[in-house]
A and B are shown apart, each in its own frame.
Chain A
């Protein structure tokens, strides 16, 4: 298992390097925005993996509520944390890209606002997990929050299709005028692959951490039990 994780980590690193090469060397410079458009590859991939993370949380939470099982709660919580990290990448890179292109860091349009709300919902999810001490109660409550929170994900996705927004219309899977240069597509797909591999690597690492923490908690309880017995 350790060897597999090392292979996974090395492959992720190699793919990431390949993605950076494709972004900065292969992909052409966009005519209107210039070189700053290269933020696009990480910005879009981070959003997609953020969405992916949210649906992993959704499915794990749903299975937990239907079947029970501590492992589903651990999987959901770990995916939520990693998903929030990818959404943070998206929310941080967006304003840095917006400033030179739109002239402003942020605007409360439908796409940006719903994305920010989604990020806040999952921060709330992580806060609930820290605040509620009873494990059973914590698992159930956070599962419900994640399922309700996931309703916002399709709204974020469709926001710039349903409403007129400052955020541009989708260039991938958009209308007939949308599309990317083939070299830009290669760079985007490679970045997406690297981010997907990174997501699974971090998720697995986070799951291992959570399981180990649970084992240590059980050991602590065992020590306390023996101390009480000895008294």
Chain B
């Protein structure tokens, strides 16, 4: 197979997967932050108007 064709499709798939991976990483970071805040809220019994859900 032509090396330019391989390079083009390789780079494009790399970008797509890197972006999906970056969204996933940001989700994981947010979940960690949320569980940290929840621990504080539960520990000190702080009232909260809306409990967030990470979809």
Contact = CB atoms under 8 A, between A and B. Distances in A.
B41 A36 contact: no
Interface in B7-47: 7-9, 11-12, 15-16, 19-20, 23, 26-27, 30, 33-34, 37, 40-41, 44, 46
Interface string A42-66: 1100100000000000000000000
Nearest to A99: B4
A206 to B, nearest CB: 6
Contacts of B50: 215, 218
Nearest to A42: B12
Contact of A223 (B5, B26, B41, B53): B41
B5 A89 contact: no
Given A212-B52, A212-B55, A216-B37, A85 B12 contact: no
Contact of A92 (B11, B33, B55): B11
Size category of the binding interface on chain B? 20 to 34
B52 A202 contact: no
B15 to A, nearest CB: 6
Contacts of A222: 41, 46, 48-49
B22 to A, nearest CB: 10
B55 A1 contact: yes
A125 interface: no
A220 B30 CA distance: 12
A219 B48 contact: yes
B34 A219 contact: yes
Given A43-B8, A212-B30, 4 more contacts: A92-B15, A208-B54, A212-B54, A222-B49
Contact of B4 (A2, A100, A212, A218): A100
B9 to A, nearest CB: 7
Nearest to B24: A205
Nearest to A38: B5
A226 interface: yes
B1 to A, nearest CB: 7
A206 B53 CA distance: 14
23 contacts: A1-B55, A34-B2, A35-B1, A35-B5, A42-B12, A85-B16, A89-B15, A92-B8, A92-B12, A92-B15, A96-B4, A96-B11, A97-B4, A99-B4, A198-B16, A202-B23, A208-B55, A209-B26, A209-B30, A216-B37, A216-B52, A222-B46, A226-B46
Contacts of B8: 39, 42-43, 92-93, 96-97
Contacts of A223: 37, 40-41, 46
Contacts of A140: none
